[in-house]
Chains A and B, each alone.
Chain A
């Protein structure tokens, strides 16, 4: 479904060039739960950002369902649509919009999708989907609260609900438990595992082996390349039809 081949990425910090990725390759199949591990600064977040078209590789390519994300003919608009429709992001620092309520935060991807002129028609459905997602992550009693009124774990669950809003093919999670204590982090991982059990494809970045154990495949990134890939558990056998996690 998703295939990154020979990804190179170099950052320039003042006068120093830092080669973060030096030909990293990765393939992700549908309904897989893949964890990318590596030391701090090994380029795992950079690889995740490139997989989600948040960043562009200097060299190499990413194919999504056989189509190149960074080809010469693929414009920004296509990548924007890819981020909106095909990918859901979960960040370590939640990245919720502080002015909006929990429900509105979850609705935001829907607000990006739907134009002004059709909003009256689609508003009810978007709102219903967002409410169902919040029920699913156990936050139906918090929909009117602002992010600053929630605990870290609750914020991360809101972020997961938001990531699932447009029923993405791929969920990309960047250290989703990195900012949470062990108990809350375990709850989040359990939630991600349940989503994967339901057929959601997940790629998660972490440096914590305990966290990585929840995935069924781990890849290790070192010196800018993928060094090893090992299977940690059985792949879910969810049918293709449930690949996208419905609210």
Chain B
């Protein structure tokens, strides 16, 4: 019979098409799409399928976005924390010959090394004399001008943003605001000028507009009358603006060390700029023992606060002048009893790279140069210095953060797999729903077959129906997931307002002060695609059952 027409064609199809159908398969069928669409919006059960796909897509998208955003933020902020390459002492005593090495590396690798800057660090106790509040802190001694050139530290400085060029760590007096002859609040001229420069700059228009809308926001406590000029906290008295003595070294404080964060993400800065702070330090000898001297107590001025966005850093670190700290920790050149001096020491040497230099290659090159440098020192190195130099390692920023980043990466994969497994339930659910539909629609399948629909066509109908369910669920789920992620912090704030125990994202635990709220298009696209595919897979068995329905059986009874 193959190749032979069984009858006339009355509906306009080409003669012989029937004959070809006998061998090739006859399955054109607009009815598949028509009925799939009709079932989609007339059958209540389809909405359960759509809802299950939607919830799974939204769930996986939220998890992927939050974890992915978490990881991306860690990467971005880790990169901005130190510098590309760090020579790390590995101990609180630090390591000597850092200046010599900085010169040596710059000379040996001029195409790699852009800038070097030393960092001294130790631990201490920060005290606020006005309130007698004390905090344990990690004290970093930095050369601010160089430090901001090797990392993103400047971006997180609060006053530096509004009064550019005024934050420094050198000895400084207390800036006091006052009133001009017209009774308007005024800051000392250099701060007014800096603020004017910022207001006129084009780079921060939104913040300037916000500042101009609300210039009188704060009413801080110490030193300050209730009428405060400007929305930044400065000391004010009844006279004209001036600087009050004594001059103390400046300190930049991590924003979470002293200040409470409000629900809107800003901080309650209850200290005015220039407020007195005190830092107590415990110097160590070259051998790592306390020097025997009484602890050092330094009077400092609150010059600014910094926000890296990583809670462990912002709640612990304070920054002072490197040379001053080095001196106070007795890490500068100290006289020896037999004459001569010890070598000054630092704990880190940060190295900024030339643009376009590959990170790992640069690290390896600098590591090799470090070893060569040690070779050049020869017999001149004391035994104690040699021991300290032996601890020094060269790291890239990725090396320093790798354990943390790798852990988060694994966490992301694990959580995604877990939620994807949960999503398999959606496939099973779609399968069950479609099986129920096929059971219920057996008679309709018989009718369609009696009207000429093929088994493959009927199977195609159910797969098209599942695809439609999957597409609707995926689109709605993507929309739901996006809206949820974009508003995730507001949702959390709302829940926390109802009951503080519902605050699931604690900055103490999760490092960042905000839940990442970015959805990547690629993530959304492939999650939605997989959801559609999964729905279609879920419908395969029911579709096969439908294809095998024997029309005579299906049509026998009403």
Contact = CB atoms under 8 A, between A and B. Distances in A.
B165 interface: no
B4 interface: yes
Contact of A85 (B9, B23, B27, B449): B9
A83 interface: yes
A111 B28 CA distance: 9
B21 A77 contact: yes
A73 B1 contact: yes
Interface string A71-99: 10111111011111110010101011101
A81 B1 CA distance: 13
Nearest to A67: B6
Nearest to A50: B552
B448 A112 contact: yes
Contacts of A77: 21-27, 454
A166 B10 contact: yes
A112 B453 contact: yes
A111 B9 contact: no
B156 interface: no
B552 A100 contact: no
A56 to B, nearest CB: 9
Interface in B415-447: 443-444, 446-447
B31 A112 contact: yes
A54 B446 CA distance: 9
Contact of A116 (B29, B39, B42): B29
Given A73-B1, A74-B22, A114-B30, A81 B6 contact: yes
B39 A99 contact: yes
Contacts of A112: 28-31, 448, 451-453, 457
B295 interface: no
Given A65-B7, A113-B28, A85 B42 contact: no
Contacts of A167: 10-11
Contacts of A168: 10
A116 B6 contact: no
B34 interface: yes
B38 interface: yes
Nearest to B443: A95
Contact of A115 (B30, B39, B446): B30
Contacts, number: 145
A93 B558 contact: yes
Interface in B1-46: 1-2, 4-13, 18, 21-35, 38-39, 42-43
Given A85-B18, A95-B450, A100 B38 contact: yes
Contacts of A74: 1-2, 6, 22
A90 to B, nearest CB: 10
Contacts of A84: 451-453
Interface in A181-222: none
A82 B454 CA distance: 11
Contact of B453 (A68, A80, A93, A99): A80
Contact of B30 (A55, A83, A111): A111
Contacts of A122: 12
A176 interface: no
Given A67-B6, A95-B443, A115 B28 contact: yes
A109 interface: yes
B551 interface: yes
Contacts of B298: none
A54 B552 contact: yes
B1 A78 contact: yes
Given A99-B39, A115-B30, A81 B451 contact: no
Nearest to A82: B6
Contacts of B18: 78, 81, 85
Contact of A68 (B1, B444, B447): B1
B7 A113 contact: no
A85 B7 contact: yes
B22 A78 contact: yes
A196 B467 CA distance: 44
B27 to A, nearest CB: 8
Contacts of B30: 111-112, 114-116, 119
A113 B6 contact: no
Nearest to B13: A113
A134 interface: no
A78 B6 contact: yes
B555 interface: yes
A101 to B, nearest CB: 10
Contacts of A76: 454-455
A240 B443 CA distance: 36
A80 B454 contact: yes
A108 interface: yes
A84 B552 CA distance: 16
Contacts of A104: 34, 38
Contacts of B552: 49, 54-55
Contacts of A109: 451-452
Nearest to A114: B30
A224 B125 CA distance: 106
A244 B12 CA distance: 14
B48 to A, nearest CB: 17
Contacts of B557: 93
A1 B38 CA distance: 38
B7 to A, nearest CB: 5
Nearest to A169: B7
A76 B551 CA distance: 13
Given A73-B2, A76-B454, A86-B6, A111 B39 contact: no
Interface string B523-558: 000000000000000000000000000011001011
Given A65-B6, A86-B6, A114-B28, A108 B33 contact: no
Nearest to B554: A95
Contacts of B444: 97
Given A108-B451, A112-B448, A82 B7 contact: yes
Interface in A112-134: 112-116, 119, 122
Contacts of B25: 75, 77
Contacts of A54: 449-450, 551-552, 555
Interface of A: 49, 52, 54-55, 64-65, 67-69, 71, 73-78, 80-86, 89, 91, 93, 95-97, 99-100, 104, 108-116, 119, 122, 162, 166-169, 179, 244
Q: Which 9 A-B pairs have the closest CB atoms?
A: A84-B452, A115-B28, A74-B1, A77-B26, A111-B31, A78-B22, A93-B558, A73-B1, A167-B10
12 contacts: A67-B6, A74-B22, A77-B23, A80-B21, A80-B449, A81-B18, A82-B452, A85-B11, A99-B42, A108-B451, A162-B451, A169-B8
Given A81-B22, A85-B7, 11 more contacts: A54-B449, A74-B22, A75-B1, A75-B25, A77-B27, A80-B449, A86-B6, A108-B448, A112-B29, A112-B457, A115-B29
